[in-house]
Structures are given as C-alpha cells and as structure tokens.
Amino acid sequence: MIRVVICDDHVIVRQGIKQILADAGDIALAGEAGNGPDAMTLVRAGAAAGTPPDVVLLDIAMPQRDGLDVLKSLKAEFPRLPVLMLSTYPDRQYAVRSLKLGAAGYLNKSADSEQMIDAIRRVAQGKLFITPSVAEQLAGAVGAGIGSRKGGVGDDEAPLHERLSHREYQVFGLLAAGKSVGEIAEQLVLSSNTVSTYRARILEKTGVRNDVELALYAVRQELMQV
C-alpha cells in the first residue's frame, strides 16, 4: 500500500481526495492536515514511529505557511520523501518553482481522478510526474538557463518575474490578487515594513509603477486568471 498524507486547507477538497484514494485500492490515507505546520507534525510523527508516508499531497495556497515554504522544509528534513504539489493556479505560475524546490510533481486540481492516482503511483516509485503543459514550461526555463550560460538568450529575455526570489514571488502573487500590504503581512507573518520593502523590489524588478500595473502584468503573463 502507498501511504499518503494530504495537506489542504479546504475540508471538502480533502474529502474528495480521500474518496479518490479509497477507490484506488492500493493507496491508503496516512493522515490529513489543514495547514503546513500540521503537515510537518504528521510527517515527523510518522517518521518517528517508523511508518513514514510514501507520498505527501501538498496544496500551494494555504494559511500560515504556503505550500512552497512547507515543501522546502519537508525536503530539508526528508529529502527522499516524494511531494506532489496541488494547485488551482495556472501551471506556469508555480510548476517550475515547485520542481526546482524538489517537488516530485505538480498537478492542477482540475485534473481527473485517474491522473491523480497515476501521479501518486509514479512519484511513489521515485519517478517524476510532469504533465505536457508543465514539461513545456520546464523546457522553457531550462532553455533560458542554457542560453544564458552560452551567452545567447538568457535572463535578459526571460520573463521579468523569473528574477524574483521565492518570498518576492509570494508577495507578488498576493499583490496581483488585490491584497493590501497589511493583509499580506498578516498572511505571511511578516511586518508591514518588510512587505513594503518586498513590494518596492518587485516593482523595480518587473518594471511596473504600481499594484494595478502589477496585476495587469500578471494577467498578460498568464500568471493569474481573470
């Protein structure tokens, strides 16, 4: 049996995933969590008891700590643990970042149950699960890196948001979604001054003047849906 931990802040989503796993026959629920800290606790407890999960299904958009932060912590403590990222965001927004941080795969929540089961089985075997759309994004990112090393197409022609750090990208997504500095500070557990500093860096790196232009940039780059 493949033991799976589900981490998603929506109860109804967890219930749906649990039903999909139950129907598979070869996959068992090892635990569920509604936020990142609880997911870390579950995985640590399983490891300490000698029954670690075989796969973690991890949502990207969660309160307290977002999925990418939790992914970094999981891979630091359990480098061999396959983590399959789940998201409602367009693939190009987070897929490549997830894989670069060590995810074993990236699956949009619009996927059907058969694709989810296939993804879980593949990553449990130590393989990567990459959909054609994610493969296209990954190839583009790798191509840009090769071009940069060869002195050809590189960072100067890559999308401007690719220059953002992980935390800057978090703030970028929240600003583009219409969140205020105060709301972002509360969600990410940062000071408002720190968020304002990130905001200034983001505006500079993306070449826009304000939050409205930032949102328009995100839409043009297909990083968010309208």
Q: What is the pLDDT of residues 90-113, one digit of tens each?
A: 666 678 788 888 999 999 888 899
Percent of the chain with pLDDT over 90: 47
Three-class SS state of 224: coil
Lowest mean pLDDT among 37-46, 48-57, 147-156, 185-194: 147-156
3 state SS of 123: helix
Q: Give the class (CATH, top level) of 152-220.
A: mainly alpha
- CA atoms 143, 149, 151, 154: torsion sign: positive
Class in CATH terms, 2-133:
alpha beta
pLDDT at 214: 85
Q: Tell me the three state secondary structure of residue 91.
A: helix
CA gap 169, 31 in Å, rounded: 30
**Res. 224: pLDDT tops 80:** no
Q: Domain coordinates of the chain in residue numbers?
A: 2-133, 152-220
Tokens of 90: 């367009």
What integer is the mean pLDDT of 54-65?
A: 88
Q: What is the DSSP track for 7-44?
A: E-S-HHHHHHHHHHHHHHSSEEEEEEESSHHHHHHHHH
pLDDT in tens, 149-159: 444 434 455 67
Q: What was the pLDDT predicted at 154? A: 44
Alpha-carbon distance of 31 to 90, in angstroms, equals 27
Q: Is the pLDDT of residue 20 over 90?
A: yes
Grade residue 146 by pLDDT with cuts at 50, 70 and 90: very low
- Average pLDDT of the chain is 84
Looking at residue 14, its pLDDT comes to 94
Check residue 153 and give its pLDDT.
39
The helices-and-strands tally (H runs, E runs) of the chain is 10, 5
Residues 57 and 68: beta-carbon distance below 8 Å:
no
- Kindly tell me if the per-residue pLDDT of 219 is higher than 70: yes
